[in-house]
Structure 1
Amino acid sequence: MTEKFYQYVLYAVLGTTILFSLFLVAADNIAPFTTQASMHRTIATIAPETSGVIEKVLVTNGQRVHAGETLFNLDDQSYRLKVQQAKAELAQAEQTFLANQQQLSASKQTLLQRQEQLANAEAKLKRNRALYQKGLTTTQTVEDSQLNVNVAKSAQLAAQAEVLRIQAQLADNDSNAAIQLAKAKLAGAELDEQHTHIIAQTDGVVTNLQLQSGSYISQGTTALLLVNESDAWLSADFNEKGIRHLTDGNPVYIAFDAIPGEVFRGHIASQERAIRDIDNSNGQLVDVVNDTRWVREQQKIRVRIQLDNQDSHSVDQLISGARASVSVQNGSTIIDTISLVWMHVVALFRYIY
């Protein structure tokens, strides 16, 4: 009886082993399976938009922060001076604009005077010509009157040119070029001063914090990273033979290395439609390399997988980069059952390795 029992157990183990072996051999075609999957979370790279000396670091590594919180400050003394300088230049531009307006008013008055002088000179010339025809004045007097008219016309034209010159320099206060330039410089200086306070633009957990007060940091240099733990997905690489099953929306089973014994569910969110060709990265002629292997390595296809239960407490504890195994469901009850059992085996195996 005991021998029969052990015989049945042996047959069961062998049968199960053969069944799973056949399943794994055919998996790429019926239910793609991979151990090359890892979790990713949205990561915000924090870099200052201005350069300066770090004055104070207000967060610690691993701290959870919210959008709007200040992460660290730069010494803003030089930037405050630039703001004061820009304000002074704006005030100077506005004063120059007002002075030019007053100059325009004076030039218009001068133009009126020149117009009256021209009118008076023309009237005097007319009178002298009438007197000359009657023999009551000399030719010299008429010529002097004509000269006075010409001089008055020149003076009027000069006054008109001066008015037009000042009008060309002046526009209304909102569109004057000098004032607008000064305003733009002031806005830029104020913006640089604001950028000395580095503020979180999103919620997240501080990671890779290596800042030290007193250190100089350049504009655009990565200072720290913010990991958004509310948004997680997996990148999984499958053999290309299973491409017909790697379509958007197909459900999958997931077993994380860090969570032994548990199988999670998800679905394919998208598929990468191209991979980088290292032999033709710049669009140049490729250098063809002959493969000497009888069975060459298969091409991989990367897909993005969305977790259906990422609010789980276990998933929340996973770090970005956590490794996982993934099996795509086939749609057949028998195959999906085998796939689920296999994934449970993989998950249980993680207790050992």
Structure 2
Amino acid sequence: MEAKKSSAKKISVIVVILAFILMFFNVLSSRFTPSTNQARVQGLNLSLAPMVSGYVTRVDVSLHSEVKEGDTLFIIDRKPFEIAVTQAEINLENVTQNLTAGLSGLKAATAQLNSARVQLDRSTKNWDRTQRVMAQNEGALSEADRDRSESSYLSAIERVKTAEANLEGQKAALGPTDANNPLVKGAINQLEKANWDLEHTVITAPSDGVIESFNVETGYFASAGHALATLISNKTIWIQANFTENNLTHLKVNDEAAITFDIDAGEVYKAKVTSIAYGVKTQSTNAANLPTVRSQQGWLREQQRFPVIIAIENQDIYKKLRQGSQANVVVYTGNSFILNTLAKFKIWFTSKASYVR
């Protein structure tokens, strides 16, 4: 009986010691080789919204179509926009012709002014001679001759003033005679806008990716700014791993990491830390656009989690991934052989366990 009690006591002591050892290594691991199963594949979701409104005349994709950057996806009826381009071209031509006609009027007004100035010069000289003759010999000229000379002189002055005013009016009405002319600038802008609208009747893929949220067919009226479909980019992909605060103690950018995906069970991929978040959105804050991380709730409060971005060395795996795919991540923050070996075994075992999840 005593032997059984002694044996049970030894087993209890061993269990307690092992529990403390496991707890000790668990604490060290959470600081030096932190791991998390709260990791997901993230990427860019691009809204495919037309810049102009019109009826869809051609659809070149379908749900889950894989597309390349620059591929044509939809075409909106081009006819109204082609008409607008033609009308803008006609308007520019009319403005140019009117400007040419204005230049002709400007030349005529300039010639009229030059003629008036020549006439004024003659009248001025004639009036000067009349005054000299009358000063030297009062009876040499009649009063009628004097009045005609003076009247011609004064009329010439008025004609010059009128011609100058006419020329200034022509200049003001015409404005600049080059591309800085307001009418010309307006017509050019109208043509550019018409060409811009026409160009945007063709909706192309802004990135490599897969079409989602697709519900469009020929004849659908597309409104500018309203999405026709969503493009899930497979060109820009990253893994967001949410670590607890105590996991961040030694974690830093460029730390080596290992990652396994549920979608690719049994494989472990080398990776590294590329960035660490400095803030998250909580219920007590109202900071805009901060990442929201939901922590699991239990009897004991779980520490707040912060997003850590992980990049994979072998990017061929990105072709297999889907946005939202789950992953497990471990980061090696130091050179401890024991802790790193245990962490590598843990992530390897997790990858194999993915087969039976």
Shorter chain as denominator, the TM-score bin is 0.7 to 0.9
Aligned to 2:159: 155
Write the distance in 1 (CA, Å) between the matches of 2:72 and 2:132: 89
Deviations 1:24-78 (A, max 9, x none): 4543323211111101234433221112111111112222222332111001222
Q: In structure 2, what is the Cα distance between the partners aligned to 1:272 and 1:176?
A: 54
When residues 128 and 180 of structure 1 are mapped into structure 2, their CA distance, relative to the original with a 3 A threshold, is: same
CA shift digits 1:248-294 (9 cap, x unpaired): 101112121222222222110111222235434269xxxxxxxxx98
Contact 2:251 2:333 in 1 (8 A): no
Look up the match of 1:320: 323
Q: Give the one of 339, 343, 346 matched to 2:343.
A: 339
The residue type equivalent to 1:119 in the other structure is D
Q: Give me the whole-angstrom Cα distance separating, in 1, the residues matched to 2:299 and 2:353.
A: 32
Superposition deviation, residue 88 in structure 1: 1.4
For this pair of structures, how many residues does the alignment match? 331
Q: What pairs with 1:1-353 in structure 2 (closer than 5 Å)?
A: 23-133=25-135, 134-139=138-143, 141-168=145-172, 169-281=174-286, 295-312=300-317, 315-331=318-334, 332-353=336-357
1:35 partner SS? strand
**Letter of the 2:328 counterpart:** S
TM-superposed CA distance for 1:300, in Å, is 1.3
Give aligned-pair identity as a percent.
26
Residues 97, 170 of structure 1: 8 Å contact kept: no
Alignment root-mean-square deviation, CA: 2.8
Counterpart-to-counterpart distance in 1, 2:330 and 2:113 = 91
* Partner SS for 1:252: strand
Of 179-188 and 62-71, deviating more is 62-71
Encode CA deviations 1:154-206: one digit per residue, 9 max, x unaligned: 22122123223433534343322211211111011011011001122333232
Judging changes above 3 Å, is the alpha-carbon distance between structure 1 residues 17 and 203 closer, same or farther for their aligned structure 2 residues? Answer: farther
CA drift of 1:208 comes to 2.5
Which 10-residue stretch deviates more, 182-191 or 35-44? Answer: 35-44
| TM score, norm. by length of structure 1 | 0.84
Q: What is the deviation of 1:298? A: 1.3
Q: Measure, in 1, the Cα distance between the counterparts of 2:19 and 2:260.
A: 20
What residue is the counterpart of 1:10 in the other structure?
none
Secondary structure of residue in 1 paired with 2:350: helix
Tell me which moved more, 80-89 or 140-149: 140-149
Q: Tell which deviates more after alignment, 95-104 or 273-282.
A: 273-282
Stretch deviating more after TM superposition (337-346 or 134-143): 134-143
Structure 1 residues 336 and 263: alpha-carbon distance in aligned structure 2, compared to 1, 3 A threshold: same
Counterparts of 1:327 and 1:228 in 2: how far apart (Å)?
A: 26
**Which residue identity lines up with residue 257 of structure 1 in the other structure?**
D
For 2:171 and 2:180, locate their aligned partners in 1 and report how far apart those are by CA, in whole Å.
13
Once residues 214 and 67 of structure 1 are traced to their aligned partners in structure 2, the CA distance between those partners, rounded to angstroms, is 25
Which whole-Å CA distance do the structure 1 matches of 2:326 and 2:19 have between them? 25
**Whole-angstrom CA distance in 1 between matches of 2:64 and 2:110:** 71
> 1:9 maps to which residue?
none
Distance 1:278 1:222 in 2: 31
- How many Å separate the matches in 2 of 1:226 and 1:17? 51
CA distance in 1, matches of 2:275, 2:62: 36
Q: Distance in 2 between matches of 1:58 and 1:14?
A: 67
Seen in structure 2, the aligned counterparts of structure 1 residues 16 and 267 have a Cα distance that, compared at 3 Å, is farther
TM-score under structure 2 length normalisation: 0.83
